[in-house]
Structure 1
């Protein structure tokens, strides 16, 4: 095994790892605020035998970390899958040890050498999570003393076994994470069982609520969006913004984020219209829908993060595929961020595109995942679900002639941009 001190303190060798992309699954706390992400590294080579395995994980993680792993996780905690080979590697020089949790996969054999390596890494500030836990076993008995977190897959652990298992783990002072939480009903059941954290996209699943109405601030933003998208005069748009003081203040705060890239501070609505232009103003209004003041710090935050990341990634993909066509990139962003408005509003997407004026190509992408923008949306959604939907991602990347290096850079940029926006929006 490698020397721990050397592997932690020296990171001066170059790595070139190609053809992979990154999945990022949110882990939320009991208040539905973001705690961390599990990062999933996937091969982008179609037909590669070990597309989802860990054979190249150490080198891939190190490569991603050299690109700036903090861009992928912001201030959040990072869960990384590791096996015995990865634990024996030199990746740890690249990782923020105070915010990295090493997730021991289910097929790891806890021999004396591996346990010694884990203790050494623990001494350097790393924490461990156990995956694939379903009851008593010699493996569990040996690994559990070193684990701070235990993950339980809700699709594989029998429901009847969960209450006692969660209770026992809490009695051992373990933090218990529910995995594969894909519906709101599953989330509520896990909440009732006392799980500490929840991993999955349950918060991004449409839940149509009869009789639900938009809040006054959401209605104000939608009305303003309609003015912008129907080519109203700047004077009318400015009057509409100024009628709602909160709307005006929130808009000015957002348009002064580093993500906008303005060279000077924007201090008035009229200046925002001049500096940003219609398309950019429309973008920030769409973001504001996800950043309602009344819901700050609650369950809108992960949805805001997902929507801004998805929109930005689709914009960057469109820029790469249709260079020089600014309007195409702007439409891609709009499709990405609007694709979660059915979740945000609790109404069907078909109703949303009736209430907000959009072009036919945007409508086709949002309702039927059709056309160029629909294909980009399907790709972005599949990348988010990197543990299950690799069959679409790999051939699509190949068809679009996007290399792994290109894809990971686009993703990192989207993560970083979203993090910058969310910091100012909530």
Structure 2
């Protein structure tokens, strides 16, 4: 889409100053239902969330230029906007079914703003109230037009949170808990009736004593071990045949148009040749995150986070060390395996005792050490809130990666991760 507006032209140059934060929003069953999108800039040794109208307009204009689905896939995107942006024309170019506009409760709520929001609601747009910590008289004129209330759970006691949740539930609002970083916080908000959750609690390992891997996960781990010791195709084929779901998924994968095959591939032996060892290993690593009962209508946030990490680390490694392809392949492995502790409910030490990995990979996964450890720390900084991203600028400097190079690599990683979904269900 080409925007015939002076706004998009004047804001476009700012893009080079930023990297993009894409924070998942989950429902009560921990399915991904949306992303919040934020531009951030690095400076003075830390990353800061940019909430001025100029940056907000930059984000909206650039999302239009890129195509929303390339960044957020099939789910809606939440955008922070202020009254200046909302009163302009740029937001009208965003499709109403793909966006939720967030208004901060401290924004000036004028009669003109209420009228503008009312008109947009009539046109099908949805609005959320952001960073709410109290139900004040100030926001009441806007409240009938608000669909979702985002409550900052990090600054409230459980008692105050329960009171506020009850007040907004009585006003028939959907509740979104922000900054949920632990399983305990999630469970607390779940008990209080919150509808949606934003934060990285789902990526934190809840270590469960005696938890065992599923039959499918064990089969995949065994296959990864076979590849690591360079077993022949016949042995790998025999192992895959023991798991029917893996057979079907692999044959479906090699017969997709993107694989470039000219005839139907009906045998596993042919499929293994077409795919090759490197792609087979990547496919298996992705399969670890796919539960057999997964609902095809929803995306697993852990799967999307792991694949995005893996691809981003691969792209950065390829950018920094283009002469050695194996470094990029190893970086992908580090990124995608970095969430196995959250997936399996076991310590990373125990998991790494079950698979054969090189010292550099193990050091990165266990201690965030070395080149791959720095790449992993960089990805984790990008994902976290601005308060937790103080290490971002020093990491970019250490890796000799300009921030303007990071942004296009992020977009490529997002698009690649989103594109996997048709092939993992």
SS in 2 for 1:102: strand
In 1, Cα distance between equivalents of 2:91 and 2:120: 9
Cα gap change, 1:143/1:255 in structure 2, threshold over 3 Å: closer, same or farther? farther
- Please give the alpha-carbon distance, in whole angstroms, between the structure 2 residues aligned to 1:255 and 1:373: 30
CA contact (8 A) 1:234 1:273 kept: yes
2:320 corresponds to? 321
Structure 1 residues 87 and 47: CA distance shift in structure 2, 3 A: farther
Deviation (angstroms), 1:399 = 4.5
Match of residue 4 from structure 1: none
Corresponding residue of 1:42 = 40
Contact kept? 1:27, 1:35, Cα under 8 Å: yes
| Contact residue 282 and residue 333 of structure 2 kept, 8 A | yes
Equivalent position to 1:21, from 19, 22, 36: 19
Q: Distance in 2 between matches of 1:421 and 1:275?
A: 18
Length, aligned pairs only: 417
- The 8 Å contact of residues 255 and 284 in structure 1, kept in 2 or not, is answered as no
Alignment-derived partner of residue 221 in structure 1: 220
Q: How much has 1:423 moved relative to structure 2?
A: 2.8
1-structure distance, mates of 2:416, 2:3: 29
Displacement of 1:51 in angstroms is 5.0
Q: Distance in 1 between matches of 2:185 and 2:256?
A: 36
Structure 1: distance between partners of 2:67 and 2:211: 42
* Candidates 248, 259, 263, aligned match of 1:262: 259
On the 8 A contact 1:11/1:94 being kept in 2, the answer is no
State the shift of 1:138 in Å.
2.5
Deviation at 1:119, TM superposition (A): 2.4
Whether 1:385 aligns to 2:384 is yes
Q: Distance in 1 between matches of 2:245 and 2:73?
A: 28
1:354 paired to 2:353: yes
Preserved CA contact (<8 Å) 1:35 1:76? yes
Q: Which residue does the alignment assign to 1:5?
A: none
- Looking at structure 2, the residues matched to 262 and 248 of structure 1 have their Cα atoms a distance apart, in angstroms, of 17
Q: What's the offset of the Cα at 1:381?
A: 0.8
Q: Hey, what's the Cα distance between the residues in 1 that align with 2:48 and 2:357?
A: 42
Secondary structure, aligned partner of 1:155: helix
Does 2:270 match 1:271? yes
- Whether the aligned pair in 2 keeps the contact of 1:132 and 1:153 (CA below 8 Å) is yes
CA distance in 2, matches of 1:321, 1:37: 29
Q: Which residue of 2 aligns with 1:203?
A: 202
Map of 1:385-404 to 2, 5 A cutoff?
Answer: 385-404=384-403
Structure-1 residue corresponding to 2:91 = 92
Structure-1 separation of matches of 2:365 and 2:84:
43
More divergent stretch after superposition (397-406 vs 241-250): 397-406
Give the distance between the partners of 2:192 and 2:358, measured in 1 at CA: 46
After TM superposition, the score normalised by the length of structure 2 is: 0.91
Contact in 1 for aligned 2:381/2:388 (Cα 8 Å): yes
How far off is 1:248 after superposition? 1.2
What do the CA deviations read for 1:58-105 (whole angstroms, capped 9, x no partner)? 123312431222211111111111222332344314422212111112
Within 5 A, what are the aligned runs for 1:112-127?
112-127=111-126
Gaps of at least 5 residues in structure 2 are: none
Q: 1:398 to 1:146 in 2, by over 3 A?
A: farther
Corresponding residue for residue 338 of structure 2: 339
Over 3 Å counting, the alpha-carbon distance change for 1:387 and 1:211 in structure 2 is same
Q: Which is further off, 56-65 or 365-374?
A: 56-65
Distance 2:80 2:27 in 1: 20
Aligned 8 A contact 2:254 2:274 in 1: no
Q: Which residue of 1 aligns with 2:29?
A: 31
Match of 1:236, SS state, is helix
Structure 1 unaligned spans of 5+: 1-7
For 1:358, what is the secondary structure of its paired residue? coil
Partner-residue secondary structure (3-state), 1:293: coil
User: What's the CA shift for 1:325?
Assistant: 2.1
Cα deviation for residue 366 of structure 1 reads 0.4
Give the Å deviation of 1:407. Answer: 2.1
Are residues 212 and 49 of structure 1, via their aligned partners in 2, closer, same or farther at CA, if it must alter by over 3 Å?
closer
Tell me the TM-score normalised to structure 1 length. Answer: 0.91
| RMSD between aligned residues | 2.4
What SS does structure 2 have at the residue aligned with 1:132?
strand
CA distance in 2, matches of 1:414, 1:266: 29
Cα 1:290/1:209, change in 2 over 3 Å: same
Offset of residue 254 of structure 1: 4.0
Against the structure 1 CA distance between its residues 63 and 323, is the aligned structure 2 distance closer, same or farther, given a 3 Å change threshold? same
Partner of 2:232: 233
